[in-house]
């Protein structure tokens, strides 16, 4: 190390006798004397533990693959004729590939965990970014609540008991997730990768098995638009939901050594999701009657039973539990840290920035758990789980349209900034994203798979209420909280940094 | 633009404040990391070693393979180590760039929050 005040060695240490970068952290010192961290290839940084391509791909896939996806497949089948749901999953996958390109460019531009908010604030405005991000955050809560409800229902289906027992399971699981989070217990990267892989393989294998063991017909295998173009589009918007949250892997942008890892993960994850959910869609339509799956909160268990009897039911219950574990692990982590950061910035009440002794933002974790329990109770009471899929689909398609706009706007506003991944034909694809996902969001806003025979304003109503609450909060609540935080900060103590006595010299 | 002497002065104060905070030491007792810092405006690079929540040393230049890399301008670093600015706002605006796991990024911010609650 170089020279510094009052220390010949240039290091400032507390008589531990350690040399920087070696025994203090257990980091093996490189043989060349320890500059390995700075000798990386251009554009690449060296981190002791960086997220690799497998980890990033599994993170992306795991974030997207929640228990609610099994229900979303039912929503797709509601509008896709015969067994043609797989076509909707495939077309949605192709559209999501464009989204992958869009997010890859944005991630390269601003490789930070605060990604989506940063893109929108640069492309639109800070206020728009906050409104959209807060609304977007509700998707996380919806998915956590939905997964809690669905796994509670699935367990109750297998172990039996009165209907209220399902809610008991829901509360029990949420309490478990909250307590685990408060104690800082979370799945390590490798475990998460294994869990995700297990869920994918279990679902894929059982789906393939059912195609061979169940002897039924395959009506309209290519007839996605057989029931009309609008029904085809409705199937498509719910198929988009199957990929929802794959883009959250961009929040891991700081954990990779180079942006290309995230870029590749963004393109590979949709392929894996298509392979598994496309086959699952085909299998479910083939092996389970629509009347059974449409009214069920556990269609995957019905498929398991159709394929392998009780063994299949337990098999899919295992996959369901693992998928929910992933959701609780990732969802609580992403959402509670977002809430913490927002509170630290003065956008949410100060209590949400409080940390427990394990450095966990306890108020944020508890608030998430309680909100999820309330939403799950509403779903339990109203049996409107398919509405959650519809709302999630609209929000997700909306976000993809906004992301398309961000690329379009930033290509003009921030032309000079380096783009490690530059989307080819950016103008075309960004406009394409805005139009296609904008239209799909509109279609989804008036589609309730619970009542497929007619248009419904319910999803639109829920989304508008969420957005209005978010807007109201950003316009009225945030300025007050910010003013309080600033007043508190100014009053709490004077500036600590000593004033300069003479102009500083350049190092 | 702050030079290394000013940064070192800020770091010395930061080290004393952090190591003297019992709650922080307890909270970070399982946190041992090697941190690299890069001041983009003047090219100053420095390293900090945290061992079980204690800042055991810091110094100019980079040594070892880091767990976390923090990049911003020298003035921001100074203000941050003196506790005169909340790093979160700058981080969310992309003015402070961090490489490292999300958990470590949060822990890093938690240090500032615990020693300077507001």
CA distance A141 to A130: 17
Query: Residue B108, Cβ neighbours under 10 Å: how many?
Result: 20
Confidence check: pLDDT of A307 > 70: yes
Mean pLDDT of A330-337: 84
Q: What chain A residue is nearest to B108 in terms of C-alpha separation?
A: A359
Average pLDDT over residues B2-29: 93
Structure tokens at B9: 């002065």
What is the predicted pLDDT for the residue at B113?
84
Contacts of B28 in chain A (CB under 8 A): 359
pLDDT in tens, A376-410: 999 989 988 899 999 999 999 999 999 999 999 99
Tokens representing residue B11 in the block: 């770091």
The band of A13, judged by pLDDT with boundaries at 50, 70 and 90, is: low
- DSSP secondary structure string for all residues of A343-361: HHTTSS-GGGG---TTS--
Asked whether A297 and A150 are in contact (CB, 8 A), the reply is yes
Which of B23, B31, B118 is closest, CB to CB, to A492? B118
Which of A11, A108, A186 has the most B C-beta neighbours within 10 Å, making it the best mutation to test the interface with B?
Answer: A11
Q: Name the region of A503 (left: φ>0; alpha: ψ -120 to 50; beta: rest).
A: beta
CB count within 10 Å of CB A499 equals: 5
* In chain A, % of residues over pLDDT 90: 57
Query: What's the confidence (pLDDT) of residue A502?
Result: 63
Residue A104 is predicted with a pLDDT of: 96
- Superfamily for domain range B4-115: SCP2 sterol-binding domain (3.30.1050.10)
Q: Are the Cβ atoms of B59 and A4 closer than 8 angstroms?
A: yes
A438-449 pLDDT tens trace: 999 999 999 988
Question: Strand runs (DSSP E) across A303-397, as ranges?
Answer: none
pLDDT tens digits for range A312-329: 999 999 999 999 988 888
Tokens of A486: 């600033």
Angle between helix axes A458-472 and A126-159 (nearest 10 degrees) is 130
> In chain B, which residue's Cα lies nearest the Cα of A356?
B27
Residues A320 and A328: their CA atoms lie apart, in Å, by 12
Q: Find the residue in B nearest to A118 (Cα).
A: B93
Q: What is the pLDDT of residues A107-144, one digit of tens each?
A: 999 888 878 888 999 999 989 999 998 888 888 888 88
The answer to whether A420 contacts chain B (CB < 8 Å) is no
pLDDT of residue A154: 94
Report A:476-505 residues touching B (Cβ under 8 A).
Answer: 485, 488-489, 492, 495-498, 500, 504-505
pLDDT at A8 over 70: no
A310 at B interface, C-beta within 8 A: no
pLDDT at A31 > cutoff 50: no
pLDDT band at A281 (very low <50, low <70, confident <90, very high): very high
Contact B31, B50 (CB under 8 A): yes
User: Which sign, positive or negative, has the C-alpha torsion A60, A65, A66, A72?
Assistant: positive
How does the average pLDDT of chain A come out, rounded? 87
Residue linked to tokens 């728009």: A128
Neighbours of A351 (CB within 10 A): 12
The tens digit of pLDDT for each residue in A153-177 reads 999 999 988 989 989 999 998 999 8
> So what's the pLDDT on residue A417?
87
Tell whether the model's pLDDT for residue A200 goes beyond 60.
yes
Average pLDDT over residues A283-300: 95
Among A230, A234, A283, A269, residue whose Cα is nearest residue A389: A234
- Residues 6 or more apart whose Cβ sits within 8 Å of residue B20: none
DSSP A449-496: TTSTTS--SHHHHHHHHHHHHHHHIIIIIHHHHHHHHHHHHHHH----
Spatial distance between the Cα atoms of A147 and A376, rounded to a whole number of angstroms:
9
Domains of chain A, start order: 53-412+426-476 (1.20.1740.10)
Q: What is the pLDDT of residue B20?
A: 94
Q: State mean pLDDT over A431-435.
A: 97
Could you state, in order of their start, the residue ranges of all structural domains in chain B?
Answer: 4-115
Chain A CB contacts of B96 under 8 Å are none
**pLDDT value at residue B91:** 86
Chain A residue with Cα closest to B12: A12
Alpha carbons A434 and A439: distance in angstroms, whole number: 8
Task: Judge residue A212's burial from the number of C-beta atoms within 10 Å of its C-beta, 0-12 exposed, 13-18 middle, 19 or more buried.
Answer: exposed
Cα(A151)–Cα(B76) distance, rounded to whole angstroms? Answer: 47
Query: Shortest CA distance to A128 belongs to which of A475, A390, A459?
Result: A475
pLDDT of residue A292: 94
User: What does the pLDDT average to over A1-22?
Assistant: 41
Task: Give the model confidence (pLDDT) of B31-75 as tens digits.
Answer: 999 999 999 999 999 999 999 999 999 999 999 999 999 999 999
* Interface residue A190 vs chain B (CB under 8 A): no
pLDDT for A19 equals 39
Quote the minimal CA–CA distance from A424 to chain B in Å: 25
């Amino acid at each position: 190390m170089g020279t510094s005040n009052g220390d010949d060695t240039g290091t400032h240490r507390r008589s531990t006798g350690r040399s920087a970068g070696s025994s203090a952290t257990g980091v093996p010192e490189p043989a060349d004397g320890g500059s390995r961290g700075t000798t990386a290839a251009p554009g690449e940084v060296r981190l002791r533990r960086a997220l690799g391509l497998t980890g990033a791909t599994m993170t992306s896939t795991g974030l997207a693959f929640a228990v609610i996806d099994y229900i979303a497949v039912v929503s797709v089948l509601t509008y896709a004729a015969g067994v043609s749901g797989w076509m909707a999953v495939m077309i949605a996958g192709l559209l999501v590939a464009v989204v992958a390109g869009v997010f890859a460019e944005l991630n390269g531009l601003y490789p930070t965990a605060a990604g989506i908010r940063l893109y929108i604030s640069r492309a639109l405005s800070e206020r728009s970014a906050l409104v959209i991000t807060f609304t977007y955050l509700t998707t996380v809560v919806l998915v956590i609540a939905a997964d809690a409800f669905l796994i509670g229902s699935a367990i109750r289906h297998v172990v039996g008991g009165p209907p209220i027992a399902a809610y008991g399971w829901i509360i029990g699981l949420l309490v478990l997730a909250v307590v685990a989070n408060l104690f800082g217990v979370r799945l390590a990267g490798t475990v998460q990768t294994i869990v995700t892989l297990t869920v994918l393989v279990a679902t894929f294998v059982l789906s393939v098995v059912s195609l061979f063991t169940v002897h039924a017909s395959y009506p309209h295998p290519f007839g996605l638009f057989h029931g009309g173009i609008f029904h085809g589009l409705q199937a498509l918007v719910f198929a988009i939901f199957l990929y929802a949250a794959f883009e959250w892997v961009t929040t891991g942008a700081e954990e990779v050594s180079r942006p290309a890892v995230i870029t590749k993960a963004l393109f590979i994850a949709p392929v894996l999701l298509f392979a598994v959910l496309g086959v699952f869609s085909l299998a479910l339509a083939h092996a389970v009657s629509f009347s059974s799956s449409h009214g069920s909160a556990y269609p995957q268990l019905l498929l398991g039973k159709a394929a392998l009897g009780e063994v299949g039911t337990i098999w899919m219950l295992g996959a369901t539990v693992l998928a929910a574990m992933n959701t609780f692990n990732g969802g609580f982590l992403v959402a509670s840290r977002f809430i913490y950061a927002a509170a630290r910035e003065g956008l949410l009440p100060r209590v949400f920035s409080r940390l427990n002794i394990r450095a966990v933002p306890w108020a944020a974790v508890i608030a998430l758990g309680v909100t999820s329990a309330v939403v799950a109770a509403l779903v339990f009471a109203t049996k409107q789980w398919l509405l959650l899929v519809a709302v999630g689909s609209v929000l997700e398609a909306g976000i993809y349209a906004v992301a398309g706009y961000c690329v379009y706007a930033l290509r003009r506003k921030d032309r000079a900034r380096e783009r490690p991944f530059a989307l080819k034909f950016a103008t075309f694809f960004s406009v394409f994203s805005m139009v296609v996902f904008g239209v799909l969001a509109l279609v989804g806003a008036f589609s309730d798979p619970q009542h497929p025979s007619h248009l419904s304003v319910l999803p639109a109503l829920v989304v508008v209420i969420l957005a209005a609450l978010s807007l109201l909060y950003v316009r009225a609540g945030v300025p007050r909280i910010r003013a309080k935080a600033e007043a508190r900060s100014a009053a709490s103590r004077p500036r600590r940094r000593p004033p300069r006595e003479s102009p500083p010299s350049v190092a | 633009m702050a030079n290394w002497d000013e940064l070192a002065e800020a770091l010395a104060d930061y080290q004393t404040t952090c190591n003297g905070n019992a709650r922080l030491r307890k909270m970070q007792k399982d946190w041992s990391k090697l941190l690299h810092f890069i001041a983009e405006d003047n090219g100053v690079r420095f390293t900090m070693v945290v061992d079980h929540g204690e800042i055991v040393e810091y110094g100019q230049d980079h040594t070892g393979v880091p767990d976390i890399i923090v990049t911003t301008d020298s003035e921001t670093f100074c203000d941050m180590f003196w506790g005169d600015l909340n790093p979160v706002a700058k981080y969310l605006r992309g003015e402070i760039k961090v490489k490292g796991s999300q958990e470590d990024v949060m822990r890093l911010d938690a240090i500032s929050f615990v020693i300077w609650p507001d």
